[in-house]
Amino acid sequence: MYVIEDKDANHYTITVHQGTPSTGAERVIDVKEAASTVATSESHRRGWEKWQVNYIQERNQGWMRVVVAEVKRE
- The dihedral built from the CA positions of residue 53, 54, 57 and 59, taken in this order, carries a sign that is positive
Instruction: Indicate the pTM of the whole model.
Output: 0.84
Contact 54, 73 (CB under 8 A): no
Indicate if the pLDDT at residue 62 is higher than 70: no
Residue 65: pLDDT band with limits 50, 70, 90: confident
pLDDT tens-digit map of 39-50: 999 999 999 999
Which domains, and CATH codes, for the chain?
2-73 (3.30.1660)
Contact 31, 60 (CB under 8 A): no
Residue 38: pLDDT band with limits 50, 70, 90: very high
Indicate if the pLDDT at residue 26 is higher than 70: yes
